[in-house]
Amino acid sequence: MTFMDSISVCFSKYITFAGRASRSEFWWFMLFLIVGQMIAGAADSAMFGDNVFMLGGMEFSYNTGYFGNIFALVTFLPTWAVEVRRLHDTGRSGWWLLLCLIPLIGFIILLIWLIGKGTEGDNEYGADTLV
């Protein structure tokens, strides 16, 4: 699956939590999200500037994030759906995403599962994505 195919599939399955997602579909979409947030952050900084404040003698800056917030809202459901479908590809329920609520350890476990190879052949969540 190519970069553009992944984006197309993820947005066409906007809230489709059933089925499976291959590693390439998932990781190409994650790359799209990272690049999109970087572009939105750059646009926010260019249009609205950075807010700077002093705290305890240290200077901190941040931008308001209007474009970044809009991008995050538009991509929230497709991201959630592709994560669930990716877990389905590994033979796990989408409810395992709740592991993110456990600081650090939950994220590491999920990351290992999302990186891992999916089950070969059909599983309870659908047909093999690599056939």
Say what the pLDDT of residue 55 is. Answer: 81
CA distance 63 to 7: 27
User: What are the residue ranges spanned by the domains of the chain?
Assistant: 3-85
pLDDT in tens, 6-54: 999 999 999 999 999 999 999 999 999 999 999 998 888 888 877 777 7
What pLDDT, in 10s, does the model give residues 42-101? 888 888 877 777 788 788 777 668 999 999 999 999 999 999 999 999 999 999 999 999
List pLDDT tens digits, range 120-131: 888 999 888 876
Q: How confident is the model at residue 105 (pLDDT cuts 50, 70, 90)?
A: very high
Whether the CB-CB separation of 107 and 98 falls below 8 Å is answered with: no
Contact assessment for residue 96 and residue 43, using Cβ atoms and an 8 Å cutoff: no
How many CB atoms are located within 10 Å of the residue 26 CB?
23
0.75 exceeded by the pTM?
Answer: yes
Beta strands in the chain (DSSP E): 50-55, 58-63
Query: Which tokens go with 45?
Result: 């900084």
pLDDT of residue 131: 65
